[in-house]
Structure 1
Amino acid sequence: MKKKAELVEGLTTQLASVRHAESLTRALAGMHYENFLVASVLLPRRLRQPFFNVYAYCRIADDLADESSSPSVATERLQTLRQHFDAAIAGSPTSNLFLALTKTMQEFDLPPDPFHHLLDAFEQDQIKTRYQDFDELLHYCQRSANPVGRIVLKLADCCNEETESLSDDICTGLQLANHWQDVGRDFAIGRIYLPMDRWDEFGVDESMFGTPGEAAQLSTPMPLRRMIEAQCDLAQQYLDRGLSLADRVPKWIAADIKLFAHGGLQTLAAIRKVDYDVLAVRPKVSKTVQIKLIAKAMLRLL
């Protein structure tokens, strides 16, 4: 953790050379195991560093949102990050993070909107803890997840209306799968993403989640499990529909697309394996399954 803190400090409080800045984004990326990072292994070498530069921004913003001492502190830090981002795209980078990121944005003609939308979603998490209906949740996904997919399409030079729509399906499916995997974790910090307009249909009420800030209960009540089951089925529909994106992009990026989507499908499979008992245990995709997915992706067998 100390090493990570030092890297983040070097990225956000110092301004050196592009070469040094990119060495820091590479190092930060190497400390995390995530679909976005694993996918970079399958990319042409010329695209890996741009991936790392984008990832560093996403990682730091996400950590500010989730690891700050309070929602108000998180909001203040995110707003400061936004100010530095705006200064960087105006031609005045203030730190190594934005020195590396703006280089990539200029090289690949990346628009600023997706980066702003991510901050919008992280800021929303500090003030909005309940979602009235699925449309509200989708609007959140449009800013918390879909921008990443659109950035990847731009990096791969295959961004158009059709590929964007299918990418949005995959990213929304991934975000939903992560929400249903983390029902317990989210409630521990006061957040519920399950659409409230369907609670009555399944007989769900807030007492079934437990008490915020306390240890998870021993078992997830059956009505809540059945609602999570329905939401998992919906998430799978998004992922299944988005998989056809792999047929509409260059072959060298198709493996990454499949890895993203199958990673989400395996998360849903892990939730089903524990019979949706997500309060008692956080479902996880095993290392064995992860390695098999990566191997199949590398061999173009997904």
Structure 2
Amino acid sequence: MNQTLETSYNFCINLARKHYENFPVASLLIPKSKKKFIAAVYAFARIADDIADEGDLNPKKRIEKLIEYKNHLINKSINAIYPHFPAVFHTIESNSLTLKNFTDLIDAFIQDNQKNVYQDWNEVLDYCSKSANPVGRILLEIFEIRNEQAFFYSDKICSALQLTNFFQDLKIDLQRNRFYLPQNLLLKYNLTNDDLLTFVKTNQVDDRLRNALNEAISFTENMFIEGKNLLDYLSGLFRLEINLTIQGGMKVLSKIKENNFDPIKHRLKLKKLDWLAIILKVIFNG
């Protein structure tokens, strides 16, 4: 490996170590031979996310920067501003990864700056097909799994994880004026976007939001359950890693329920004891 490429991978690995939050236990199970590839994918998505969300740029400028970022990817151009790209290009080539999965991720970040209200679950899941599902498909390809049924179940898991993150970060997204809970779900429980903003302002929720979240969480749990069929296509540590990820997502949903469906007052995260319980469950129940 030449020095430029090694430096690029080291940048990706350090970035992943610095920011990786959601499933820290599962990350330890990634085989050493795959870690640098997954770090490169993480860096690619993390930096795109930073462009989409960070700083004082207006949406138009952010979209311009994301399009520029996408063109760097497509044209395989090296730029000192983005030291991770040599590793990204090498990862794509070494594993024969589908480029569309990477461009879809950027398109999701562009959409975040164009659209902030979703009418129904179909619209939300269409967003997930770009924001979350490509990550699962990339991982499967890195682990040399290219089965359409496996991709289908992976999409279920990744969309469920994205929805879980929406519920977990409801307050943060509302503060950014993003409304991922479907409008027809809110209407069913006599809620409006203004009501959600009031919940953030007062740091209090009522039974209308609790009932809406209860339905949304049930919808998401069913996606996790269906997606768990992916495990039939996996083996070894990768199977264990994905199982832990599923169980971790389900545990977050359980904690939201245990906290009376109130992610506004407390952002719920998994603690070390939660992960210990999940690991024991996976080991003894499969």
TM-score, normalised via structure 2 length: 0.91
Q: Secondary structure at the match of 2:267?
A: coil
Unaligned 5+ runs, structure 1: 1-14
Q: Which residue of 2 aligns with 1:230?
A: 215
- Asked whether the 8 Å contact 1:35–1:259 carries over to 2, the reply is no
- Give me the whole-angstrom Cα distance separating, in 1, the residues matched to 2:206 and 2:185: 16
Q: Which residue of 2 aligns with 1:140?
A: 127
Q: Which residue of 2 aligns with 1:63?
A: 50
Q: Residues 1-302 of structure 1: matches in 2 within 5 Å?
A: 17-35=4-22, 38-69=25-56, 70-88=58-76, 92-95=77-80, 96-211=83-198, 216-293=201-278
- Give me the whole-angstrom Cα distance separating, in 2, the residues matched to 1:66 and 1:122: 8
- Asked whether the 8 Å contact 2:179–2:193 carries over to 1, the reply is no
- Asked whether the 8 Å contact 2:70–2:106 carries over to 1, the reply is yes
- Between 148-157 and 268-277, report the one with greater CA deviation: 268-277
Q: Secondary structure at the match of 2:261?
A: coil
- Give me the whole-angstrom Cα distance separating, in 2, the residues matched to 1:34 and 1:197: 32
- Asked whether the 8 Å contact 2:189–2:211 carries over to 1, the reply is yes
- Between 272-281 and 234-243, report the one with greater CA deviation: 272-281
Deviation digits for residues 194-230 of structure 1 (CA, Å, limit 9, x no counterpart): 1112222211122321259xx6423112111100110
- Give me the whole-angstrom Cα distance separating, in 1, the residues matched to 2:284 and 2:63: 42
- Give, in angstroms, the shift of residue 292 of structure 1: 4.2
One-letter amino acid of the counterpart of residue 41, structure 1: L
- Between 215-224 and 78-87, report the one with greater CA deviation: 215-224
- Asked whether the 8 Å contact 1:267–1:283 carries over to 2, the reply is yes
Structure 1 runs (4+) greater than 6 angstroms displaced:
none
Q: Taking structure 1 as reference, are residues 53 and 28 closer, same or farther at Cα in structure 2, changes over 3 Å only?
A: same
- Number of aligned positions between the proteins: 282
Q: Taking structure 1 as reference, are residues 108 and 63 closer, same or farther at Cα in structure 2, changes over 3 Å only?
A: same
- Asked whether the 8 Å contact 1:153–1:159 carries over to 2, the reply is yes
TM-score, normalised via structure 1 length: 0.87
- Give, in angstroms, the shift of residue 282 of structure 1: 1.8
Q: Taking structure 1 as reference, are residues 201 and 230 closer, same or farther at Cα in structure 2, changes over 3 Å only?
A: same
Unaligned 5+ runs, structure 2: none
One-letter amino acid of the counterpart of residue 83, structure 1: N
Q: Secondary structure at the match of 1:204?
A: coil
- Between 260-269 and 146-155, report the one with greater CA deviation: 260-269
- Give me the whole-angstrom Cα distance separating, in 2, the residues matched to 1:288 and 1:216: 32
Q: Taking structure 1 as reference, are residues 74 and 287 closer, same or farther at Cα in structure 2, changes over 3 Å only?
A: farther
